[in-house]
Amino acid sequence: MPFKSLGLNPKLVQGVLAMGYGDPTPIQLRAIPVVLEGRDLIGSAQTGTGKTAAFALPVLQRLLKPVAKGPRVLVLEPTRELAAQVETAFRDLGRFTEFRAAVVHGGVGYGRQREALRNGTDVIIATVGRLMDFIQEGAIDLRNIEVLILDEVDRMLDMGFIRDVKRIAELCPKSRQTLFFSATVPPEIEAVAKFALKDPARIVIGRTQSVNESVKHAMFPVIYDQKFELLIALLEKEDFQSVIIFSRTKHGADKIARRLKNENHSVAVLHANRSQGQRTTALEGFKNGRYEIMVATDIAARGIDVSGVSHVINYDVPENPEDYVHRIGRTGRAMSVGDAYMLAVPEEGGDCHDIERFIGARIPQLKLDGFAYENGKMPVVDTSRPFKNPMRSKKGQAQGRQGGGGGGRQGGRPGGRPQGPGNRPAQGKGGGKQAGRGNPRGGSSRSGPASAPAKASSRLRRGR
Ligand code: AMP
């Protein structure tokens, strides 16, 4: 069914076409009519399914009918990057309509945001902390909010924002429409939904824990001391266009990035210890192709949309199975295909077991052809038993994610599992890559032997 059959105004259909979208994604097909009807909604869909347009389009349609007072729409996001991204989506989709939007998030000065609010706005896209600051100083009046959108609610719960979210919901009129998006809806989130929503429609797209089906995933077992070497060898062999490498810790991310730079890769780094300016520059540079690689902690794993990510490499096995799904969600986003690799040391077998159970599939263990494995043999990662860690509790996870937007854990975990990049320097590769290899989105044409079976799928189809 095309977009124009969903009851959207022609100006919005024009915006959708200008974005290069063909048909609506499943969440858009199901959510847009419900939201246009004015009903409350709980949407759970896996990451990268097009949920931003699923709420932005019907909300923009509502804004076509002018009323005197604003702000009329409030969108709450867990991170600054997501807030900025959602604002861009509103502007892109609504480019043929007239509306005013203001984004309000931490990490930057108050002045411009205060001014945008003072000048009047129809839509506010905000992170919770900064919004609360403005509410407390009386710079925002929520009494005319018609639609409240709570996006990535599970993430907000993890980050400890739920009490503020409830407070904000209480400041909005009871007659509002509320849209609620969460990858998972565990009981704590169900309780928030009960508090904030009235007779909501429910839309579940696929199993929430499933990995995106357009992603081919694989595990490369390696001993700890050879991890970085294997990463370099993998990057040499794969026909990648843009890669996100995930590290569990901020320190680890910095170290991996340093070593990759030494190998003449162009690298951006994204984690919570970086200033907002550095984070924006890193993300922009990665999006526009200035950097071929972005090394990130889990702060980048949720929701961030970078089109054309051909590979995700988990340098560390993520500690929480949910994080695997979110990390993997950075590739193979709507209509594309991508590869997701994980470097796993034998000691991480239990964590790999937990991930496999969570996603309901085995992750194939692949040997990298031509790589000089120590003792000539690829190690085996035994995924037959769960990882047993009494310290791993929901509470522990939440604490580990707080402090600057989910920047991953510092300090390691009990059990003495190795973390961070291997210390052994990468072995000479004849000078490594040439500096300034140009725009990786243009497709670096790497030849060389096809290594893993996943090679066949490593080319990105970019339909957008
Ligand atoms: P989201 O899940 O909202 O972050 O969207 C993920 C990506 O899918 C973004 O790059 C969107 O621009 C893109 N997208 C959203 N809807 C469609 C569609 N109907 N067709 C193709 N791409 C889409």
Going by alpha carbons, the residue nearest to atom 1 of ligand 1 is 50
52 Cβ below 6 A of ligand 1? yes
Ligand 1 nearest atom to the CA of residue 92, by list position: 12
Q: Are strands 215-221 and 41-45 parallel, antiparallel or unpaired?
A: unpaired
Pocket test for ligand 1, best of 19, 155, 337 (most atoms within 8 A of CB): 19
453 has a pLDDT exceeding 50: no
pLDDT of residue 405: 34
Q: Is the dihedral of CA 223, 226, 228, 230 positive or negative?
A: negative
Ligand 1 nearest atom to the CA of residue 89, by list position: 12
Pocket test for ligand 1, best of 1, 8, 49 (most atoms within 8 A of CB): 49
Secondary structure class of 421 (helix, strand, coil): coil
pLDDT tens, residue by residue, 166-187: 999 999 999 999 999 988 787 8
**What type of residue is 179?**
L
pLDDT tens, residue by residue, 84-140: 999 999 999 999 999 999 999 998 999 999 999 999 999 999 999 999 999 999 999
Instruction: Give, for 343, the enclosing helix (H) or strand (E).
Output: strand 338-344
Residues 6+ apart with CB under 8 A from 147: 59, 62, 72, 73, 74, 176, 177, 178, 179
pLDDT of residue 412: 34
334 has a pLDDT exceeding 60: no
CA of 8 to the centre of ligand 1 (A): 17
CATH topology of domain 3-205: Rossmann fold (3.40.50)
Instruction: Give, for 194, the enclosing helix (H) or strand (E).
Output: helix 187-196
pLDDT of residue 233: 92
Distance CA 86, CA 78 (A): 11
pLDDT of residue 288: 79
224 has a pLDDT exceeding 80: yes
Confidence band, pLDDT 50/70/90 cuts, at residue 338 = low
53 Cβ below 6 A of ligand 1? yes
333 Cβ below 6 A of ligand 1? yes
320 Cβ below 6 A of ligand 1? no
pTM of the predicted protein model: 0.62
Nearest CA to 43 out of 300, 32, 173 is that of 32
**What type of residue is 78?**
P
Which position has the higher pLDDT, 410 or 299? Answer: 299
Nearest CA to 409 out of 307, 272, 217, 261 is that of 272
15 Cβ below 6 A of ligand 1? no
CA of 24 to the centre of ligand 1 (A): 9
12 has a pLDDT exceeding 80: yes
Burial of 78 (0-12, 13-18, 19+ CB in 10 A): buried
The rounded mean pLDDT for the chain is: 79
334 Cβ below 6 A of ligand 1? yes
Cα pseudo-dihedral 446, 452, 453, 455, rounded to 10: -20
57 Cβ below 6 A of ligand 1? no
CATH superfamily of 215-376: P-loop containing nucleotide triphosphate hydrolases (3.40.50.300)
Ligand 1 nearest atom to the CA of residue 25, by list position: 19
Nearest CA to 180 out of 206, 207, 159, 199 is that of 199
311 Cβ below 6 A of ligand 1? no
Nearest CA to 244 out of 213, 265, 222, 274 is that of 265
Pocket test for ligand 1, best of 305, 326, 462 (most atoms within 8 A of CB): 305
Map 66-96 to HEC letters: CCCCCCCEEEEECCHHHHHHHHHHHHHHCCC
CA of 175 to the centre of ligand 1 (A): 30
CA of 180 to the centre of ligand 1 (A): 18
CA of 414 to the centre of ligand 1 (A): 39
Distance CA 401, CA 406 (A): 4
For range 438-448, the mean pLDDT: 31
49 Cβ below 6 A of ligand 1? yes
pLDDT tens, residue by residue, 251-310: 999 999 999 999 888 899 988 888 888 888 888 888 877 888 999 988 766 656 666 677
CA of 447 to the centre of ligand 1 (A): 31
Where in the chain are all domains bearing CATH 3.40.50.300? 3-205, 215-376
C-alpha 244 chain-centroid distance: 11
Distance CA 197, CA 344 (A): 42
CA of 280 to the centre of ligand 1 (A): 21
pLDDT of residue 384: 87
CA of 387 to the centre of ligand 1 (A): 35
CA of 345 to the centre of ligand 1 (A): 35
Tally of CB atoms within 10 A around 138: 7
How many percent of the chain have pLDDT more than 90? Answer: 47
50 Cβ below 6 A of ligand 1? yes
